[in-house]
Amino acid sequence: MARLGAFLRGAFGIPKPDREGIERVKNLTRAARPFPPETAFAVNEIACTDPACPGIETVILVMEPGVKTRAYKISKPLDQVTEQDIAVALGF
C-alpha cells in the first residue's frame, strides 16, 4: 500500500494533523472562489511511501451538490499550505 490515509498516520509515528489546521485549509478553500453554501469540504494529509511522491501531501475534496466530487492535491504538509497553494490547486 503506497498511500496511508490520515486515519493511519498516528499508528506509523507521524503525528495527525490538528483540527485547527484542517479548518484553516477548509476556510481558505471556501474563500478561494464562490462555492454554493451547501458545498462540503474534506481535508486530509496523505503519507506516500512511493519514491515518486512528495512524501506528505494535502488532499482537498470538494463535494458540491449535483457535481462530481473533485480532489485537489498540494505537494506539502497541511501546516505548510498557503492561500496561494490552494488558488493554484483550484486552477486560478
Q: Give the start-to-end residue ranges of the domains of the chain.
A: 3-90
- Chain segment 40-86, per-residue pLDDT in tens: 999 999 887 778 776 889 999 999 999 999 999 999 999 999 999 99
Within the chain, strands assigned E span: 3-4, 40-48, 56-63, 70-74
pTM: 0.79
Q: Please state the φ and ψ torsions of residue 39, each to the nearest 5 degrees.
A: -70, 135
Confidence grade of residue 13 (pLDDT, cut at 50, 70, 90): low
Among residues 30, 4, 21, the alpha carbon closest in space to that of 80 is found at 21
Whether 12 shows a pLDDT value over 60: the answer reads: no
Q: Is the pLDDT higher at 12 or at 60?
A: 60
State CA 44 to chain mean position distance.
5
What's the confidence (pLDDT) of residue 3? 43
- Cα 85 from Cα 81, distance rounded (Å): 6
